[in-house]
Structure 1
Amino acid sequence: MQDAPPSPDAPVADAAGDNWVDRYAPAFARPYLRLSRADRPIGTWLLLLPCWWGLALAILYDQSPRWFDLWILIGTGIGAFLMRGAGCTWNDITDRDIDAQVARTRSRPIPSGQVTVEAAIAWMVIQALLAALILFTFNRAAIGLGFLSLLLVAVYPYAKRFTWWPQVFLGLAFNWGALLVWTAHAGVLNSPAILLYGAGIAWTLFYDTIYAHQDTEDDALIGVKSTARLFGDTSPQWLRRFLMATVGLMGLAVVFSAMPNATILALVIALAGPWAMGWHMAWQLRGLDINNPSKMLQLFRANRDTGMIPLFFFAAALLA
């Protein structure tokens, strides 16, 4: 006899015990919200924060804030939740056989039998269509960038099968919002946005290598590639390089954003953002223990605060 599928009340293994989905969501909705990682909001923050960086630096660049920027701020917040959910659903559809073999992921809704593949596809389409409604309120250039991002989202789940650097593909996808939101504000894509995009990719390599160290043993058994497996005991040295690349590229993005029109005071305040972000990343390195999965998950989750730090300085620079 086959075991009965887990009930809708069975939580995902790596979700926080007091998350709102397990506590408050209706029973019928919980498997779908877990499929979207709504019980683990860190991913939404990591997708959203580069969007807000891009908006802040775009305004610093042209010194032309407008009321529509408020909608960009709110719309990207909703859109990040929806597109992160759609992307995670797609990831779980493609990885369902792999997830069933990894201790941390076998409790996810598809491998645990709580949601069928067909239902997951329908849920993914619903989330993507709702996100598209937000995207269509932006200018044509931003809409075009939004559709281009779907290629990266589609490819990412397969990257771990053919490259030791799947975190690069995650970085390309997760930081695309910096380009899109800059364009939504400015109507064109300027060079500081590309530098900011590079900084976000380096940051993703930093935090997702930390995250991947939770699964290195299982990944080795089933042949899944990652930077954590590639770097092994040399991970701290690589993470320092990613830290320096993040701070350096973001610093250049700030300089080129401020140079045309911002004041010297605004430039100094904005530059304090990547500097302070770097110190927070250095704090993570001091607590690094690649053989302690719970510690690695704790450090990974700390990156919401890491990404918020420069945003506060960018916002202050806009008021200078």
Structure 2
Amino acid sequence: MKLSQQYLQTGRQTITIEAEALLLLANRLDEAFTQAVQTLLDCKGRVVVTGIGKSGHIGRKIAATLASTGSPAFFVHSAEAVHGDLGMITGEDVVIAISYSGQSNELSTILPVIRRLGTKIICICGNKDSDLAKLSDIFLNAHIEKEACPLGLAPTASTTVTLALGDALAVACLEARHFGASDFARSHPGGALGRRLLTHVYDVMRQGDTLPIVSPNTPLTQALEVMSKKHMGMVIIINPDNEPMGIFTDGDLRRLIQKKGDIRPYTLGEVMSKSPKTILDTTLAIEAASIMESEKISHILVINTKGKLVGAVHMHDLMVKKVI
């Protein structure tokens, strides 16, 4: 067998073993899982995830997932807990302890102390008869038939199952809390999703003196000076009540020159595009981008709830703010 074929075979076998372990996990979820979810939902403090070794690495990810999906959580390394970090845990917290064997010396040392605080303990473990299972209030069975590692030594299928259980807990809590995309964005303000779900039109629009505003009686030649000065590629025509009447873009200018030749006789009221596309200032910026893309326009006027012009957005503004 060629080496490349052997690599593929090993890769597929590894993934198959782990997939089968996940299927077994899904089929054996029982009332203990329901109790674990309810315990997390009832938690008045924080969810504290603890483990050591590979279980610790998985625990960090589980804590991060819980924290970003509406369940305040943090990770405490079991070895550090033995030497002082146990003070971070209170009786109002819920502890998720992770150890596949259930015989971690560090966990066996700290869990009796945690129990005396009155803290609820959920364990993710592959051995229901282990010390960890006996010291916990809720036992989540992470047992696997075999590791994907041919030596049966490197945690592979077992860590995959543990991670999946953590994700299952987080998602179940997320749904129970009716945690939505906007909630998720609040904990991810620096990411692309956060920018898209937290940035409103009023955050990106041009306003005040930066707007190329003219009246319908403004001569077209004068309006071109405003268009050039304001660098938006258009002018906005408003009435005396500051309500948008129309828009005239550089594209409109090119078409008018091709059609009429001499543009000097015209005022904006004669050549503007009436009923311009508008959007409320409180609308999400990503929605403005969607409208502009679907309408194939580069600008959109921004109004308040009274229909007054308060700003304008160019597609370039959304790109600068990394909304799109």
Structure with higher helix content:
1
TM-score, with structure 1 as normaliser: 0.24
Higher relative contact order (Cα pairs below 8 Å, separated by 6+ residues): 1
Structure with higher strand content:
2
Instruction: Give the number of the structure whose alpha-carbon radius of gyration is greater.
Output: 2
TM-score, with structure 2 as normaliser: 0.24
